[in-house]
Amino acid sequence: MGGGVLGTMMEGRMFDLTGRVAVVTGASRGLGRQDALTLARQGADVVITDVLVEDDPDLQKTAEAQGSMLAQVAVSQGWVHSNSTADEIRKMGRRSLAIKMDVTNREQIRDVFKKVKEEFGKIDILINNAATLDHAAQIPNQSYELWDRDVRVNLTGAFNCTKEVWPYLVENKFGRLIFMSSIAGTLGGFGQASYSSTKAALIGLAKTAALEGGRHNITSNAIAPGIIESEAGKAAADTNPLYERFKARTVFKRFGQPEDIANTIAFLCSNEAGYITGAVIEVAGGIPLFTA
């Protein structure tokens, strides 16, 4: 067994991402944070981006400006870990930065990716994770304002980041694009018209990027999580009795963990997944199955 392989196994890596540079959006907490940590554990250098960064002197105002209840809850509950996540990654011996970035601000995205290229030398991986998830109302009561916000963040935000990172991936002749969809995007979601619609649209964007990226050795895939016990997921499950019904729909009668999503992403970003593109990977504990 070669020393490199042995070293990888001893570090507990599933896949070797050594030398890869990843950018994760919405990575201050929850699934994005776990994605960043997992990619780093597999050897990647990781840039944490989020509109919320804990050393922002106007953090509360920044959260309020997003028009997102979850952003404000994240600040009030201390769920913002952009800088501390970057510190944790650096302690692994990887390079990392935490950078404030709003996925709806195209000029800011362009500047951030330029900075990443200058400081890290390249960009290999983009995880489109940033999203809103707090607009719950049946169609007659859906807010026009929040519908527009969700389209702007969940769908157009992912497009903005993909468009701006594209030249760097083409230059590398290598790229891994991940779009965070949802089981609500494949099944629909009662009272979630804006969320489920934008998450469904991400699948179309991911498949289009796969078609266009193939000639440049760029793969593009979508992840469709079920209910995952992130900070927000746990809080919702504790307060909403419907979540017991959702849990009962899974084959395992339990919710997923952030690691379940992150491990799937690590695989899709690896060389081992080089022939997988345009796929929608459901990590949902079998919720779509007709279970007893």
On the question of pLDDT at 86 being above 60, the answer is yes
Angstrom distance (rounded) from CA 166 to CA 213: 9
- How far apart (Å, rounded) are the C-alpha atoms in residues 118 and 163? 18
Residues sharing a CB contact under 8 Å with residue 271, sequence separation 6 or more, in sequence order: 15, 16
Distance of CA 22 to CAs 59, 204, 215, 247, Å? 25, 23, 21, 33
Closest by CA position to 283, among listed 34, 18, 9, 51: 34
Single pTM value for the model: 0.92
Catalytic residue among 144, 195, 243, 275: 195
Rounded CA-CA distance 224/4 in Å is 33
**Does residue 3 register a pLDDT over 50?**
no
Residue 249's Cα: distance from chain center in Å? 24
pLDDT of residue 11: 56
The proportion of the chain whose per-residue pLDDT surpasses 70, expressed as a percent, equals 93
Is 195 among the catalytic positions? Answer: yes
Read off the pLDDT of residues 228-282 as tens digits, 9 standing for 90 and up: 998 777 666 676 777 888 888 899 999 999 999 999 999 999 999 999 999 999 9
List 101's β-bridge partners, or say none: none
Go through the domains of the chain in sequence order and give each one's CATH number.
Answer: 15-283 (3.40.50.720)
First to last CA, the chain: 47
- What is the pLDDT of the chain when averaged over all its residues? 91
